[in-house]
Amino acid sequence: MRRRGQSLWIVLTCVALVPALTATVLRVVPPTDDTTALVASFIAYGLVGYLIALVCLVVALVRARRRRVLAVVTLLVAGLTALQLSWMVPFFVPDDRPVSTPTFTVMSLNMYKGLADSAQVYAVARRADVVVLVETTPIALNALKGLGWSERFPYAVGDLAPGISDTAIFSRFPLEEGVLLGRTSFQQWMTAVKVPGIGSVELVAAHPCNPYCGHQRWAGEHDLLRRTLAPLLGDRLVVAGDFNAVDDHGPMQALRADGLRSATDLTGAGWMPTYPANRSFPPLLPIDHVLVSQRMTATEIHSFRVAGTDHLGVFATLAGSG
């Protein structure tokens, strides 16, 4: 006679494995359609499903009289759990990429249609050398200017005309003339920063559309961003902003394969979700990133909270490498 309650553990295992296996499939075969891309945002949480399934399987295995099939299934799930962990562990292990230049700091923040608290934004930005603001507005920028923003950041790139709610780059150091990255849902700008002690650093302010935009714009705008970055990969390059993609998404995997690494990865900062930041629960998804090419490195990164916006900002300390 089967031990009482054994079937419950098997059912719980199956329930936990459904989202876990879905996460693995979406990581191995990255989606490009909008709906599936939304689901893929939660790939990392597949680890929770695997861990629950493993616990249930171990309990069922201990209780079982015939264990061969359960043992095989348990080993398979353990292997899939290890695979899921292998995608996450590198972000908790610091890289040994050497620092060969003085450091400089980059701040990135989604202003949520200009609603971020200007005083708090300025308080953080006073420690930055370069600032990327997405979803900013003339009203928000005027509020920042009233706090002394232009004195701190005399150089700027972006379309700051009235009525615009979009992307802008600000810098303490000289900027080259900005180039707009095609016709995208949100502005994305490319320029170069003349950083003392380093020289020219290519800078791209990224903000591809999110999967909610529809009409496959998420995949298309990420593809445009990748094609734009391809000729710059051999230079000192920094890409910062709201990518609307987690590290497990196909476009982020592709950028990593091209040689771009996130500051989170290089510093071993681990899991650093930034969205949504205006709910009663903590942020769930790390979609705001600072990426660098092989000739750059990061020594520190942390997130910060500003009232009024639905994103946490990121603040990274960068340097040349090699």
Cα 258 to the center of its chain, rounded Å: 16
Distance CA 135, CA 114 (A): 6
Q: Which of 29, 26, 35 has its CA nearest to residue 213? A: 35
6-28 and 46-63 helices, crossing angle to 10° = 150
pLDDT tens for the 322 residues of the chain, in order: 456 678 899 999 999 999 999 999 999 999 999 999 999 999 999 999 999 999 999 999 888 878 888 999 999 999 999 999 999 999 999 998 999 999 999 999 999 999 999 999 999 999 999 999 999 999 999 999 999 999 999 999 997 666 556 899 999 999 999 999 988 999 999 999 999 999 999 999 999 999 988 889 999 999 999 999 999 999 999 999 999 999 999 999 999 999 999 999 999 999 999 999 999 999 999 999 999 999 999 999 999 999 999 999 999 999 999 8
Return the closest-CA partner of residue 245 out of 273, 281, 205, 270. Answer: 273
What pLDDT does residue 94 have?
Answer: 96
